Structure 1
Amino acid sequence: MLDQITQLFMQYGIWGLFGMAFLDSFISPIPPFFMQIAMSLLDPGSALRFATVAFTASILGAPIGFLLGKWLGKPILQKLLPEKWVVVATEKFAKNGDAAVLIGAFTPIPFKVFTVLSGVFNYSLTKLMLFAIVGRGLKFFLIGTLFHLYGKHAKVLLDEYLEVTLLGAAALVAIGWFIWNKRRKRYA
C-alpha cells in the first residue's frame, strides 16, 4: 500500500512531492522522505530543488497540524485517557517541547505527531515553526545535498549510513539544544 500511494504521488512529479510533504505535516501516513530519495535518484541534478519543495510544503503544512491538535486533540485525549495523564503529558510537553519538536522534525518519526501534539498541549506555534524550519531544513537538505554532490551513489551511502547519520545528527541537534537551553536559563 505504501508503494501504491507513493507511486500515485510520483505521477505528479514535483507537485506530488509537494502534496505528500504538505500532507505529512498533519495527516499522511507516508513520509515524503522516500519520494524525495526516489526523485533525487532519478534526477540528482534537481535534488536541491526537490529538497526545497519538500521543505516548503512541510513547513506550510505544520500550522494545519497544530490547529487540528488544538481544535480536536484535547477532546479526543480526554475521552481516551484519564485526566491526570493528560495533565502530566501537558506539563512534560511544556517542559521538553522544544527538544521534542526540534529532534522530531529531523528524525524519521512522522512529523504530524509533533505538529498535532504541539496544538494539543498548547505549545507555541512560533516555536513549532522555528524548530520545524531548523529540523526539517536539516533533514531535507541533507538528502538533497548528498544527491547533488554524489549523484546516484548517494543512494548507496543512504542505504549504508542513513540510520547512523540521522541518529548522529539528531544527537548533535539535541546537544546543541541542551547547551542553548542551559545558556538561555543562565542569562534569564
Structure 2
Amino acid sequence: MKTSSKSVKKSRLQLLHQYYSYTGFYKFLGTSLKKALPPILLFIAALLIINYFVIDINELLIYVTENYSDYVVFSVFFASESILGLIPPEIFIAWSDKAVSPILYLSILATLSYLGGIISYFIGKWITKIPSVHEYLEVKMAKHIKNARKWGGFLIIVGALLPIPFSITSIASGMIKYPLISYLLFGLLRFLRFYLYAAAIFSLI
C-alpha cells in the first residue's frame, strides 16, 4: 500500500515537472536568476567601493538619520515601492541599521513594501480598464499574458524575493487579474527578503 502511494506521488511530481518544462517555466526562472545575480553582486561591490574610497557609509547614514525625520524616509520609501520601485530598497535597509531599533525599522520597511505592492496590484487592475492598454495586452501580448497567468504564483515569489522591482511584479499580477488572496499570501515572502538582505547588509556596514 505504501509503495503504491509513493508511486502515485512520484508520478504527480513527474507530471508537474513535465508541465513546467513544456511551458518554459524553468527557462524563465533560470533567466530571472541570471538577471538577478549581477545586480546583487554589483550592489555589494559598489557599497564596498563607496565605503572605502568615496565616503564612509556609516557617516552618511548617520547624517541622514540626524537631518531627516523617520516619517520623511518612510514616506519616500513607500512612494517608491508603490510606483515601479524606482529606489533600491537595499539603501533603506542599510539606513534602518542606524536606527534606535533596527529590527523594528526593518519590519516597518518590509510592511510598507508589502503595502506598496498591494497598491501596485490595484494600479495594474485599473490600467487594464484603459481600452488601448486592454487591446494591447489581449492582442499583441496574448502569449506573454497566457504564460503569466499560468505561472502567476511563481512570478510573485520571484518578485518578492529577488532584486526585481516588486511593484512591477505586483502591477503585472493586477493586470492578469491574479486572485488577490493568493497574491497576498505569496507576497508575504517580501518580509523574508528584507530580513535576509538585512543580515547581509548589516554585516557590511
- Normalised by the length of structure 1, the TM-score is 0.63
Alpha-carbon contact 1:98-1:131 (below 8 Å) kept: yes
The offset of 1:139, in angstroms, is 1.1
The offset of 1:36, in angstroms, is 1.4
Does the residue aligned with 1:69 lie in a helix, a strand or coil? helix
Do the aligned partners of residues 65 and 33 (structure 1) sit closer, same or farther apart at CA in structure 2, a change above 3 Å counting? Answer: same
Residue of structure 2 in register with 1:144 after alignment: 198
Residue of structure 2 in register with 1:34 after alignment: 91
The offset of 1:47, in angstroms, is 2.5
Do the aligned partners of residues 55 and 47 (structure 1) sit closer, same or farther apart at CA in structure 2, a change above 3 Å counting? Answer: same
Structural mapping, 1:44-83, within 5 Å: 46-73=101-128, 75=130, 77-78=133-134, 81=136, 83=138
Do the aligned partners of residues 73 and 24 (structure 1) sit closer, same or farther apart at CA in structure 2, a change above 3 Å counting? Answer: farther
The offset of 1:102, in angstroms, is 0.5
Residue of structure 2 in register with 1:14 after alignment: 70
Q: Distance in 1 between matches of 2:182 and 2:161?
A: 15
Q: Distance in 2 between matches of 1:25 and 1:73?
A: 20
The offset of 1:144, in angstroms, is 3.4
Does the residue aligned with 1:25 lie in a helix, a strand or coil? helix
The offset of 1:97, in angstroms, is 1.0
Alpha-carbon contact 2:77-2:89 (below 8 Å) kept: yes
The offset of 1:122, in angstroms, is 0.6
Question: CA offsets per residue over residues 34-83 of structure 1, 9 Å max, x none?
Answer: 1211331x34x63211220111111222221111110114635346x474
Do the aligned partners of residues 55 and 17 (structure 1) sit closer, same or farther apart at CA in structure 2, a change above 3 Å counting? Answer: farther
Deviates more, 1:45-54 or 1:58-67: 45-54
Q: Which amino acid aligns with 1:32?
A: P
Do the aligned partners of residues 33 and 119 (structure 1) sit closer, same or farther apart at CA in structure 2, a change above 3 Å counting? Answer: same
How many corresponding residue pairs? 140
Residue of structure 1 in register with 2:142 after alignment: 87
Q: Which amino acid aligns with 2:194?
A: F
Q: Distance in 2 between matches of 1:21 and 1:57?
A: 8
Q: Which amino acid aligns with 2:161?
A: F
Q: Distance in 1 between matches of 2:70 and 2:185?
A: 25
Does the residue aligned with 1:119 lie in a helix, a strand or coil? helix
Q: Does residue 155 of structure 1 match 2:204?
A: yes
RMSD value over aligned CA atoms? 2.7
Does the residue aligned with 2:197 lie in a helix, a strand or coil? helix
Q: Distance in 1 between matches of 2:179 and 2:89?
A: 25
Q: Percent identity?
A: 26
Q: Distance in 2 between matches of 1:21 and 1:139?
A: 16
Alpha-carbon contact 2:137-2:145 (below 8 Å) kept: no
Q: Which amino acid aligns with 2:182?
A: K
Q: Distance in 2 between matches of 1:30 and 1:146?
A: 19
